[in-house]
Amino acid sequence: MITKDVILDKLKEIYEPCAPIIDIVRMGMIEDIEIEDNNVKVFLILTTPNCPAKFKMIKTVEGKLREMDGIGNVEVIVLDKKWSPDKLSEEDKRRLGFI
């Protein structure tokens, strides 16, 4: 069965291109996931508004989810929302030099 937790586990295999030591889930880049039947929408926040890897990130998320059995359509929606280091754990803030 496809659940948010199963989707999040799969997305943990993707690393933020500018901080490749932390996956996009731990980075706080996944704002929400909607599942209807076997179709999935992922709402993504980029770490910078004009991220040069925007389209690569979209394609990577789509591709990773399509690897899963039972997934139908995948849509990645990039939100016009500012990412903040506050989304990181204290350990990850230290690893990335925010503290």
Over residues 33-89, the pLDDT tens digits come to 999 999 999 999 998 888 888 999 999 999 999 999 999 999 999 999 989 888 888
pLDDT given at position 32: 97
CA atoms within 13 A on the CB side of 28: 14
Q: b/e for 24-39, b at 16 or more Cβ within 10 A?
A: bbbbbbbeebebeeee
Q: Is the pLDDT of residue 24 over 90?
A: yes
| All domains in the chain, ordered by first residue | 4-83 (3.30.300.130)
Contact assessment for residue 11 and residue 24, using Cβ atoms and an 8 Å cutoff = yes
Most confident of 11-20, 58-67, 86-95: 58-67
